[in-house]
Amino acid sequence: MEMADLVADRSTDPDVQDLAARILAAQEPEIDTLNGWLEAWGADRAESEMSGMDASAMGGMMSEEDVFPLEAASGVQFDRMWLQMTLEHHTGALGMAQTEISEGEDPQAIALAQDSTASQGAEITEMEQLLEGLSTQ
């Protein structure tokens, strides 16, 4: 389950709900594009999903154990945890995108990484602002 899928049932903050909806809407076409590339490149999808790997091996990836407390939370506690975890996830994604930009060879993959850097950078700023607002609650 995607962390953003948890927001509708657990968050009480309309700004967090809106952000999660936008993240989900943006990720779906990106994931479809990436999966299409994997298929076109003849890559093993199971291998690309890193089955069996420790999620913490990649910056910002959450393990199932990391998500358990989030699944049990609600309200402001959930919002704070979700924002912190999503912020960490986005920060890790930015690192991967920067690697693709500097070391990648496929122009389309580099362009997607550049787009992701811009959009996720803006989302990181928004998450930081939302977290700051929650610190007073």
Instruction: Say if residues 86 and 66 touch (Cβ distance below 8 Å).
Output: no
Q: Where are the alpha helices (DSSP H) in 73-106?
A: 75-103
Measured over the CA atoms of residue 58, residue 64, residue 68 and residue 71, the dihedral's sign is: positive
Question: How many Å apart are CA 92 and CA 1, to the nearest integer?
Answer: 19
Q: At residue 115, what is the residue type?
A: D
CATH class of 3-41+63-134: mainly alpha
Question: How many Å apart are CA 76 and CA 11, to the nearest integer?
Answer: 7
> What pTM value is reported for the model?
0.83
Q: Exposed/middle/buried for 40, CB within 10 Å: 0-12, 13-18, 19+? A: exposed
The residue ranges of every structural domain in the chain are: 3-41+63-134
> How confident is the prediction along the chain (137 residues), in pLDDT tens digits per residue?
488 899 999 999 999 999 999 999 998 898 899 999 989 988 876 655 544 444 444 566 778 888 889 999 999 999 999 999 999 999 999 999 999 999 999 999 999 999 999 999 999 999 999 999 987 77
